[in-house]
Amino acid sequence: MGLTGTVIGLLTSGVELVFPPPALAQSLLSPDAALAALVEGNKRFTSGRMTSNEHDLAILKQNTIEKQEPYAAVLSCADSRVPIELLFDESIGHIFVTRIAGNFVTSEIIASLEYGAAVLGTKVILVMGHSNCGAVKATIQHKEAPGQLSALFPHIQPAVDQAGPNLEAATKVNTKIQATLLREASTVISSLIKEGKLKVVPGYYDIGTGAVTLLD
């Protein structure tokens, strides 16, 4: 059935998806404006003109205990060199982050991002791979791995099959595949996209330069 069919089957097997009512505090940005805000934040990060630290203390003093209003969500690799809030120059409560080695889609990841979009009102989901990704590299090498590490390989293997052994190419293809899967495997996300309330885009973070490139 394949990965797409497996995830869709898990989510559409007759179980009705029921969400809490939307949070009262939600971003008023459009999907395009939310994506532009991420891009501008990354430009501030790469140019050394960050402003987020100035806002953190003020936000902590406000009522962030009982509400959050993220305008964007990011599906990122778990790699410690990919600090999401820093590289988009955003402060507390602005980005809803999910992380897994290899930044691939699972039913749990989808559920989390559905919550971010349907309840918290995120306007854009960025599926972001990065340079020198260990999970993609391990999938390319496909060596015997201890413990549960090999469980990552099947999720990333379709990108390696398509892109070949080039690490950067495979990482970018993996990101595009996962973004497509996210758009198609979730009825919640696909509905929001059709209504013009949400965007799902793939991106690539260069650890060396700090720049994020959109791949769509």
Which of 35, 33, 27, 45 has the alpha carbon at shortest distance from 88? 45
Residue 62, domain member (yes or no): no
Residue with tokens 């990011």: 74
For the whole model, what pTM was predicted? 0.82
- What CATH number does the domain containing 89 carry? 3.40.1050.10
pLDDT digit string (tens) for 97-145? 999 999 999 999 999 999 999 999 999 999 999 999 999 999 999 888 7
Q: Which two tokens stand for residue 11?
A: 């989510």
Average pLDDT, the chain: 87
Does the pLDDT at position 65 exceed 90? no
Least Cα distance to 206 among 56, 26, 45, 7 occurs for 45
CB 80 within 8 A of CB 37: no
**Is 209 a member of any domain?**
yes
Q: What is the arithmetic mean of pLDDT over 179-195?
A: 96
In a domain, 20, yes or no: no
Q: Walk across the sheet containing 95-99 and list its strands.
A: 95-99, 72-76, 124-130, 199-205, 212-214
91 inside domain: yes
18 belongs to a structural domain: no
Please, which pLDDT band fits residue 182 given cuts at 50, 70 and 90?
very high
Number of domains observed in the structure of the chain: 1
Whose tokens are 């990965």? That residue is 3
- Count how many residues are written for the chain: 216
Q: Which two tokens stand for residue 158?
A: 């379709």
The pLDDT tens digits for 34-55 are 999 999 999 999 998 888 877 7
Full residue range of the structural domain in which residue 91 is found: 2-6+28-56+69-214
Q: Per the domain annotation, does 22 fall within a domain?
A: no
Task: Decide if pLDDT at 59 tops 60.
Answer: yes
Residue 46 lies in a domain: yes
Residue 204: per-residue pLDDT:
98
Does residue 39 lie in a domain region? yes
Confidence of residue 14 (pLDDT cuts 50, 70, 90): very low
Q: What is the pLDDT of residue 52?
A: 81
Give the range with max mean pLDDT: 14-18, 73-77, 90-94. Answer: 73-77
DSSP string covering the chain, please?
-HHHHHHHHHHSSSPPP--PPPPSS-----HHHHHHHHHHHHHHHHHT---HHHHHHHHHHSS-SS----SEEEEE---TT--HHHHTT--TTSEEEEE-TT----HHHHHHHHHHHHTS---EEEEEEETT-HHHHHHHHT---STTGGGGHHHHHHHHHHH-S-HHHHHHHHHHHHHHHHHHH-HHHHHHHHTTS-EEEEEEE-TTT--EEE--
- The structure tokens listed for 80 are 């410690």
Is 8's pLDDT higher than 90? no
Of residues 159 and 148, more confidence is placed in 159
Q: Are strands 212-214 and 72-76 parallel, antiparallel or unpaired?
A: unpaired
Rounded distance, CA 167 to CA 165, Å? 6
Say what the pLDDT of residue 58 is.
66
